[in-house]
A = this chain, B = another copy of it.
Amino acid sequence: MAEDTQKFVEDLSEQSDDFSRWYLEVIQKAQLADYAPVRGCIVFRPYGYALWEHMQRLLDARIKATGHENAYFPLLVPESLLQMEAEHVEGFAPQVAWVTHGGDEKLEERLAIRPTSEAIIGKMYAKWVDSWRDLPILINQWANVMRWEKVTRPFLRTTEFLWQEGHTAHRTAEEAQEETLKMLEVYRAFAEEDLAIPVHKGVKSDSEKFPGADRTYSIEALMRDGKALQAGTSHNLGQHFAKVYDITFQDQDGERRHVHQTSWGVSTRLIGAIIMTHGDDAGLRMPPRVAPVQAVIIPIYKKDEEKAQVLAFADRVHAALLAEGVRAKIDARDNYTPGWKYNEWELRGVPVRVEIGPRDVAKDSVVFVRRDNREKAFVPAAEIPARMHALLVAMQDDLFERARSFRAESTRSADDLRTMGAILAEHRGFVSAHWCGDAACEAAIKAETSATIRNLPLDAAEDPGPCVRCDKPSARRVLFAKSY
């Protein structure tokens, strides 16, 4: 067993050594996911799915608190329906999985497995909306979607993934724009407060916007390898889909008008963001608010007479934590050493380890060990639940602050293309630079540096300067980075 323990730990690549290998290994070893016997698909194992359930629960509450209701639309979209919006179909057709047969019968029309649901939802909204009194429609859907990706990577880009997609319809352009920004803010708050991932809110450049949208906003996060990750998007769809699917209403003045729409989504890609924002060489570090297990209790004993005593005490601590709403687990497996268990639960990112040995029982106390910095604290039994709650809150804050410091250290300004290239080659991270707004410059910068415009931050200060490529004037800096 001792060799096994050693092996289990040694086997994990160091993050700083090979980030990509570390990422794939930690997913497997922590049992978040496994590869499926279907191209580009993964299995969400119970530990990974539990993480997603906690993320869903918190985001769902935020979505409902802003007045939205959940619904469910069909998985399959008739080809003719998908083809009605030209930009949309052009953007998604190459990635669509097509159903052509039902049982033995060839279908008259091919059906797409939804890559996103604007088309089918637009069709339904046309049926449901008739008067201004029917607006706004504020609907969200939790669903699986499929995009036939060439290169896949667990959580970050998989053929099938899980997500939520909000689809709203409004009377006016102003309301649609307000909704677009409101949901972007919901995503920011969710990412920062629940997942402890700092993000930049901003608008995407035209070349990166959603096929069929007027404008796409995103939240952008920075991973520990210095690459950026688009962590959520909110689209102002304008009246594109409304015109195509004929979603009209009689307005207060008696005129018939097209609705204004938005759509917005985040996906299981955020699990990848959690792993790559917080993980370290020992494995995952789960943000306490979404951690499937917040505290793991490890009983420690050698002799048989110790065992009964320690286990009984551990059971009481376990019950006390559960009663206070802490997601606690006791690891009483007798075929693993405490050392093995420490390593395993550290790798799985459980925020707090509670060690209980015979001496702790005698003193009526336990030892808390923080996953993030391994700090130990001796905690009298009576104080366990209160101290645990305080520690989980503190750890959530600390993870966020640490990620924010890392992002600050990894954000640099560049005023010319050569400096920008050098920064990106040496450090990666975000580069704040001037861009004239021209797609040709955007493409040229990308060709030269492999970096793309992540977004034009909404909070960017007025700061005029010349475009790093063409010297034409730019009012504000935008964020460049290499990205996932």
Contact = CB atoms under 8 A, between A and B. Distances in A.
Interface string A42-54: 1111101110110
Contact of A38 (B44, B71, B78, B127): B78
Interface string A427-454: 0000000000000000000000000000
Contacts of A160: 74-76
A71 B100 contact: no
7 contacts: A39-B102, A43-B73, A43-B74, A48-B71, A49-B72, A97-B102, A102-B148
Nearest to A36: B74
A133 B39 CA distance: 31
A403 interface: no
A128 B81 CA distance: 42
The number of times this chain is found in the oligomer is: 2
Contacts of A73: 36, 43-44
Which of under 10, 10 to 19, 20 to 34, or 35 or more describes the interface residues of A?
A: 35 or more
A120 B37 contact: yes
Contacts of A101: 97-98, 100, 110
Main secondary structure of the interface of A (DSSP, over half): mixed
Interface in A89-114: 93-105, 110-111, 113
A41 interface: yes
Contacts of A34: 124, 127-128
A133 B146 CA distance: 36
Given A77-B38, A78-B37, A335-B133, A70 B49 contact: yes
Contact of A50 (B41, B69, B75): B69
A361 interface: no
Contacts of A110: 101
Interface string A106-143: 00001101000000100110011000010000010001
A12 interface: no
Contact of A162 (B72, B94, B127): B72
Nearest to A60: B53
A111 B101 CA distance: 11
B111 A76 contact: no
B43 A124 contact: yes
A123 B41 CA distance: 14
Contacts of A335: 133
Contacts of A99: 97-100, 113
Interface in A299-323: none
B139 A46 contact: yes
Nearest to A144: B75
A351 to B, nearest CB: 19
Contacts of A52: 72
A435 B75 CA distance: 43
Contacts of A120: 36-38
A76 B76 CA distance: 13
